[in-house]
Chains A and B, each alone.
Chain A
Amino acid sequence: MFIVKYIKNVFSAIKSLLVGMRRTGYYFTHHKEIITQQYPDNRETLVLPERFKGEVVMPHNENNEHRCTGCTACELACPNGTIKVITKFDITPEGKKKKAIDKLVYHLELCTLCNLCVIACPSDAIVMAQTFEHSVFDRNKLTKVLNNPDSKIMDGVE
């Protein structure tokens, strides 16, 4: 019958709307379901996973020594020319010439954080840091030199 079907339609429609309203009403009254993280306020408690790819850094030990041999494997592995290795020749105590890095220039503005350089590095000299607040007012600040001034290569790293 038309009229019965009509009334049934109206009631099933209203019911379907009420089901949705019950769900939103549930969230309206249950504030513990809120998932917002208030970012700048929770900076102290914010923990990023140890694998998070923030930027490439070169760790130094307490004697200002790093593990980079200047082999340019990272430079070759990088898809965007982000890393530039500038080498120099050190004179070893035995009087021999030895290749070492002068500067390892890292262009953060070009980096896509693909992790290929870290994987390519044979001596684990570079790692990914868990930083993410990279914005600066001067673009030049994004071009970084990864090795500290006057740093040396660690003993035993070939």
Chain B
Amino acid sequence: MWSLSGITNWVDQWLNATFNPTLTLIIEMVIVGVCVISLFAVLGLVLVIMERKVSAWMQIRLGPNRVGPKGMLQSFADTLKLLVKEGFTPNGADKFLFNLAPYLAIIVAMLLMAPIAFAKDFHMWNLNIGVLYVSAVSSISVISILMAGWASNNKYSLMGAMRSGAQIVSYELSAGLAILTIVVLTGSLNLNDIIQSQANGWWIFKGHIPAIIAFVIFIIAVTAETNRAPFDLAEAESELTAGFHTEYSGMKFALFFLAEYVNVFIVCAIGATLFLGGWMPFHIGNWQSFNHVMDFIPSSIWFMGKTFFLIFLIMWFRWTFPRLRIDQLLNLEWKYLLPISMFNILLVTAVAILGWHF
């Protein structure tokens, strides 16, 4: 059967046969880097057009429909516009930090790509502490936002950055605890092991109520962590004009924009991996023929389908709900999500020890 791992293995063998091992490693790294950057570009384009279409249909509009077939090339035109715009650095800004911040944001998003398994045996780095790596690296993103807000020398930016700092630091906790429930159930920090453990059923079905609670908390927490509405206080349009990226223009603004969308993709990919089985096809117990049909669908499609379902869910939130206030945002985390997830951890530990899960 056709699979992505076949291609990578073939490339690897060919390189090993042609060059010496060091050169092979370097070439492979370059290939991976190019792949990640092009994936970034594609993701940015796809997610922007998806967001615009989703929002348009929810708002009884048509959405972009001029550039390309059904407006599908609209984001190319937008990117082109952003590329030719002037990158403006305001007077009084800390020039070095101001220009560094968008790159930091994008680097964090790139680093997070490493442990994700996009298909069966298709990942950049089979890291045995993948889950830990993801939660550790994702918390760096707050630094880029704080940097951007502080260096802009703008009060709106500063307030947006401060809000974002408080928000990300608090929601890391419940996101981490939600991830931990699956780690407890699986007994492994390796994302590939976690996927393998779901061969006979996804954790959201196998893990009873604790897994569902953890899933809901995870979705809420990552929505907050990626600064998406209804938790978009860092860039609350009606309050802070654009929050931490008020002063950014041109491609520097686009990098923030891109980082936001890629972060959404990554957290949804993590969520799909942990709760919905990653690239694992949907299997029902002993229905052999049904399971066989499901196996026939390539694993990369399963992964992308689940990830985009979660992305759609997050977009659905954004275009339905009003924004929270900063104190309510923190209340929600510290008074509701954190106690519930702590209780949930206890519950799931009991489930795991007693072997109640399937």
Contacts and interface: CB of A to CB of B under 8 A. Distances in A.
Nearest to B322: A20
Interface stretch (B53-61, B169-177, B255-263, B285-293): B53-61
Given A17-B321, A20-B320, A21-B320, A34 B57 contact: yes
Contacts of B60: 27, 33-36
B336 interface: yes
B308 interface: no
B62 interface: yes
Contacts of B253: none
Nearest to A35: B60
Interface string A21-61: 10111011001011110100000000000000000000000
B59 A27 contact: yes
Nearest to B58: A24
B319 interface: yes
Nearest to B53: A28
Contacts of B62: 34, 36, 38
A25 B59 CA distance: 10
B103 interface: no
Contact of B319 (A17, A24, A35): A24
Contacts of A35: 60
Nearest to A31: B57
B316 interface: yes
A129 to B, nearest CB: 30
Nearest to A33: B60
B58 A28 contact: yes
B336 A25 contact: no
For chain B, the bracket of interface size reads 10 to 19
A155 to B, nearest CB: 53
A139 B60 CA distance: 38
A28 B61 CA distance: 10
Interface string A76-97: 0000000000000000000000
A36 B65 CA distance: 12
Given A10-B336, A20-B321, A25 B316 contact: yes
A34 B61 CA distance: 5
Contact of A24 (B61, B65, B320, B336): B320
A125 B52 CA distance: 50
A33 B61 CA distance: 9
B296 to A, nearest CB: 28
A5 to B, nearest CB: 13
Interface in A99-123: none
A142 to B, nearest CB: 29
Interface string A1-31: 0000000001000000100110111011001
Contacts of A24: 58, 316, 319-320
B108 to A, nearest CB: 30
8 closest A-B pairs by beta carbon, nearest first, are A24-B58, A36-B62, A24-B320, A28-B57, A20-B320, A28-B58, A21-B320, A34-B60
Interface of A: 10, 17, 20-21, 23-25, 27-28, 31, 33-36, 38
20 contacts: A10-B340, A17-B320, A17-B321, A20-B321, A21-B320, A24-B58, A25-B58, A25-B316, A27-B57, A27-B59, A28-B54, A28-B58, A28-B316, A33-B60, A34-B57, A34-B60, A35-B60, A36-B61, A38-B62, A38-B65
Interface of B: 54, 57-62, 65, 316-317, 319-321, 336, 340
